[in-house]
């Protein structure tokens, strides 16, 4: 049996050691894990998550051509190049560039996973990628919902619930889940009205009722919500590895290149 534990807000993770050697899936539907997925899909070289603005600024001193990106309270951080709207992360702006990224909740969850055995980022836009990833790995899973300002938020819980519901249906008898995971599954099913499969329209209307969805709409980010609701619209799986977030295909190429260089050095 594979165990799936859901944590409903990142504040439940006391320190980095809590997730050491565990397989983590970080969820921040509105909007960090969605925006990071869009940025990598549109060609960003890598994304370095920073838990605070100070740390982001410090990293940027050592990485001259990186773009400083992120938000506080939904708005772009003063002096930063980009905020946290997926619409800002167009190919022409970010292609082949490293991004340093700091957000109110999402990048805290991600950096708390720095000692994890594996860490990927999930949202509705890469749902099936996340499901397939969990199916493919050995061992227990933690789904870490970022939440909002240390509290529960519905959109992350529903996303976790839909992922787990898919796993339970596709691989019956294989998963054991904690009560938070069970609550997420039930929540997803209630919103879907029976089967646990949500449509993008239902997700969008759930955003419209949610605290953060309403807040983002008030700030004028209504179009972002449509992107964040698009089930499987960006089939890419960001991986947090060695302090940076990249697509697995890129990590594989780089690892192969490194081992090739090593072989050349040894044979010289």
- Which range touches ligand MLT (CB under 6 A), out of 14-22, 99-107, 110-118, 150-158? 99-107
3-state helix, strand, coil split of the chain in percent (to 5) is 50, 20, 35
The smaller minimum CB distance to ligand MLT, of residues 222 and 254, is found at 222
Among 6, 23, 46, 74, binds ligand MLT (CB under 6 A): 74
Give the nearest distance from C-beta 117 to ligand MLT in angstroms. Answer: 23
103 near ligand MLT, judged by CB under 6 A: yes
Asked if 40 contacts 238 with a C-beta cutoff of 8 angstroms, the reply is yes
Q: Look at strands 75-76 and 67-72 and give their pairing.
A: antiparallel
Closest contact distance (angstroms) between CB of 91 and ligand MLT is 21
216: three-class secondary structure by DSSP: helix
Residue 84 touching ligand MLT (CB under 6 A): yes
Q: Which of 46, 71, 155, 156: binder of ligand MLT (CB under 6 A)?
A: 71
Q: Nearer to ligand MLT by C-beta: 150 or 169?
A: 150
CB of 104 to ligand MLT, least distance (A): 3
Residue 112 touching ligand MLT (CB under 6 A): no
Please tell me whether residue 165 binds ligand MLT under the rule CB under 6 A: no
Measured between alpha carbons, how far is residue 20 from residues 13, 91, 174 in Å? Answer: 11, 34, 23
Question: Which positions from 4 through 43 interact with ligand MLT, judged by CB under 6 A?
Answer: 28, 30-32
Which two tokens mark 247? Answer: 């697509």
Shortest CB 208 distance to ligand MLT, Å: 15
Buried-exposed string 191-224: b where 16+ CB fall within 10 A, e elsewhere: bbeeebebebebbbebbeebebbeebeeeebeeb
Residue range at the interface with ligand MLT (CB under 6 A); choices 9-17, 39-47, 101-109, 202-210: 101-109
- Between CA 221 and CA 23 the distance in angstroms is 32
Helices (H), ranges, the chain? 32-41, 53-62, 91-94, 106-112, 127-136, 154-170, 179-192, 200-209, 211-218, 222-228, 248-267
Give the interface segment with ligand MLT, choosing from 19-27, 98-106, 168-176, 230-238 (CB under 6 A): 98-106
CB of 132 to ligand MLT, least distance (A): 24
- Give the count of alpha carbons within 13 A of 211, CB side only: 9
Q: Does 123 bind ligand MLT (CB under 6 A)?
A: no
105 binds ligand MLT (CB under 6 A): yes
Alpha-carbon torsion (143, 21, 128, 242), positive or negative: positive
- Contact footprint for ligand MLT (CB under 6 A): 28, 30-32, 71, 74, 84, 103-106, 216
């Amino acid at each position: 049996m594979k165990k799936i534990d859901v944590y409903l807000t990142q504040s439940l993770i006391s320190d980095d050691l809590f997730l050491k050697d565990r397989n983590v899936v970080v969820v921040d539907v509105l909007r960090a894990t969605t925006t990071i997925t869009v940025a990598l899909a549109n060609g960003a070289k890598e994304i370095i998550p920073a838990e605070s603005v100070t740390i982001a600024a410090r990293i940027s001193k050592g990485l001259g051509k990186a773009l400083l990106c992120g938000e506080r309270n939904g708005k772009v951080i003063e002096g930063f190049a980009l905020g946290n709207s997926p619409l800002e992360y167009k190919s022409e702006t970010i292609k082949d560039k490293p991004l340093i990224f700091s957000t109110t909740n999402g990048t805290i969850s991600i950096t708390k996973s720095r000692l994890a055995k594996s860490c990927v980022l999930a949202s509705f836009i890469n749902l099936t990628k996340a499901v397939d990833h969990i199916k493919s790995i050995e061992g227990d899973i933690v789904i870490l919902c970022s939440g909002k300002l240390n509290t529960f938020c519905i959109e992350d819980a529903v996303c976790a619930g839909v992922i787990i519901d898919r796993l339970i249906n596709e691989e019956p008898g294989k998963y054991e889940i904690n009560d938070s995971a069970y609550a997420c599954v039930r929540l997803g099913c209630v919103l879907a009205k029976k089967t646990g499969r949500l449509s993008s329209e239902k997700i969008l209307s759930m955003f419209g009722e949610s605290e953060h969805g309403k807040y983002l709409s008030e700030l004028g980010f209504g179009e972002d919500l449509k992107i964040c609701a698009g089930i499987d619209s960006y089939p890419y799986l960001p991986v947090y590895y060695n302090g940076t977030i990249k697509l697995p295909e890129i990590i594989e190429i780089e690892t192969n290149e490194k081992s090739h260089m090593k072989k050349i050095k040894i044979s010289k």
